[in-house]
């Protein structure tokens, strides 16, 4: 979409005077997305404000569905009081979504500049907001809004997480030979155990520091278009085991305690049960991250993600040690194989 057409579409969607936008000397800046194939623009001008415009890839039916999910889920989260950007407009014809501009500072930049420990208060705020979002946004959530799957379940774990890891990381990127039958059986067992966690809560599914904006001393959540119903522990594991941030173990433990304290104010949930579910869902998340980093770096040429393969593999190895001894021996052996191969190439 040309810039003039983009501005005209925005003016039409907002129902504002075209002359006001002409006089505003509108500035449009292309924004570079992380792993997404969507197109992002910052659109601003004096007197008309500043917006983020998001467009799906051209001629992409799934992209149009994703855009609709972004608008519907975003409006629901905003109504529920979740700190997300306001959805200002959505055009079903082009897939354009116009939302509030929250600036450029993310929790990622905060941690990179000052370190995890100096960002503790922001992380505490984040996990408290997360617990409230998971409970409150589940109420009135319509699974038909989802563009991918309506629920995080066992099939998704095996196909999009462990299967993603085995294909994108172990096979496509590293070209490893391994006992696929044994590893696949263990991944199926892991998914079966993880899927026992109640999945009636709102799940963001990519809850990490690059998707948390900072403005006015507060945290704001973005990239929620993949939201669906799911278990509690997955999003917390995504945040605490985030390879971009590398939070110290003591900080992870503290934040899990802060999260549980807030969760108990929202609902009754057995803390020991939560901790057991956390390990299983953290394993699932770690497998998904490794698949994504391998795919984006190897198939999409986004080399930025390659540097995080080593810390993500180290995290996976640590989690496997914490799980039932010997239950995932083949997966642990494959993880060590991946680590050796990555080290050899670095």
Q: What is the mean pLDDT of the chain?
A: 94
Q: Both 172 and 262 in a single domain? A: yes
Joined together, the tokens standing for residue 180 give 């696929």
DSSP 58-86: TT-HHHHHHHHHHHHHHHHHHHHT-S---
pLDDT at 226: 97
Q: Closest Cα to residue 206, out of 95, 273, 296, 97?
A: 296
Give the E-state strand segments of 104-176 in sequence order: none
pLDDT of residue 9: 87
* pLDDT tens digits for range 262-274: 999 999 999 999 9
Task: Indicate whether 292 and 276 sit together in one domain.
Answer: yes
Q: Could you tell me if 194 and 280 lie in one domain? A: yes
Distance, in Å, from the CA atom of 272 to the CA atom of 279, rounded to the nearest integer, reads 11
Q: How confident is the model at residue 246 (pLDDT cuts 50, 70, 90)?
A: very high
Residue 72: how many CA atoms within 13 Å on its side-chain side? Answer: 19
Q: Is the Cα torsion angle 305, 205, 256, 217 positive or negative in sign?
A: positive
Same domain, 42 and 76: yes
92 has a pLDDT exceeding 60: yes
- Which residue, 69, 100, 131, sits at the end of a domain? 100
Q: What is the pLDDT of residue 3?
A: 77
Last residue of a domain, one of 70, 100, 130: 100
Last residue of a domain, one of 80, 100, 120: 100
pLDDT of the residue at 16: 66
Q: Please name the helix (run of DSSP H) or strand (run of DSSP E) that holds residue 90, with its range, or none.
A: strand 87-90
Q: Which domain holds residue 32?
A: 3-100
Question: Using 50, 70 and 90 to split pLDDT, how confident is the model at 7?
Answer: confident
Residues 123 and 92 both lie in one domain: no
CATH number, domain at 151? 3.90.1200.10
We report the CATH number of the domain holding residue 66 as 3.30.200.20
Question: Domain check: are 211 and 193 in the same one?
Answer: yes
Report whether pLDDT(325) > 60: no
44 and 191 share one domain: no
| Element containing residue 333 per DSSP (H, E) | helix 329-345
Classify residue 320 by its DSSP letter.
Answer: H
Q: Is the distance from CB of 116 to CB of 251 less than 8 angstroms?
A: yes
* Domain shared by 88 and 180, yes or no: no
> Of all residues in the chain, what percent carry a pLDDT higher than 70?
97
């Amino acid at each position: 979409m040309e810039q003039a057409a983009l501005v005209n579409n925005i003016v039409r969607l907002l129902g504002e005077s075209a002359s006001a936008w002409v006089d505003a000397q509108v500035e449009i800046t292309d924004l570079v997305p992380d792993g997404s194939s969507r197109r992002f623009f910052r659109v601003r001008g004096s007197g008309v404000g500043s917006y983020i415009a998001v467009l799906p890839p051209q001629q992409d039916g799934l992209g149009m569905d994703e855009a609709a999910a972004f608008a519907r889920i975003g409006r629901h989260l905003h109504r529920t009081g979740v700190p997300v950007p306001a959805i200002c407009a959505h055009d079903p014809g082009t897939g354009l979504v116009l939302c509030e501009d929250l600036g450029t500072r993310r929790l990622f930049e905060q941690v990179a500049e000052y370190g995890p420990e100096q960002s503790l208060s922001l992380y505490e705020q984040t996990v408290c907001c997360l617990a409230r979002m998971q409970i409150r946004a589940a109420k009135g959530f319509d699974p038909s809004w989802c563009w991918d799957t309506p629920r995080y379940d066992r099939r998704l774990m095996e196909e999009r997480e462990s299967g993603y890891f085995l294909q994108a990381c172990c096979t496509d990127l590293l070209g490893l030979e391994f006992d696929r039958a044994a590893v696949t059986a263990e991944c199926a067992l892991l998914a079966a155990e993880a899927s026992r966690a109640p999945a009636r809560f709102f799940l963001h599914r990519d809850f990490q520091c690059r998707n948390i904006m900072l403005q006015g001393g507060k945290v704001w959540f973005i990239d929620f278009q993949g939201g669906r119903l799911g278990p509690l522990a997955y999003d917390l594991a995504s945040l605490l085991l985030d390879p971009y941030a590398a939070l110290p173990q003591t900080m992870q433990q503290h934040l899990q305690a802060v999260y549980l304290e807030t969760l108990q104010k929202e609902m009754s949930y057995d803390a020991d049960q939560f901790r057991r579910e956390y390990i299983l869902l953290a394993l699932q998340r770690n497998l998904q991250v490794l698949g994504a980093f391998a795919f984006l770096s190897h198939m999409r040429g986004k080399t930025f993600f390659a540097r995080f393969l080593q810390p993500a593999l180290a995290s996976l190895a640590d989690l496997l040690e914490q799980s039932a001894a010997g239950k995932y021996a083949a997966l642990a052996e494959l993880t060590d194989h991946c680590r050796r191969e990555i080290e050899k190439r670095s």
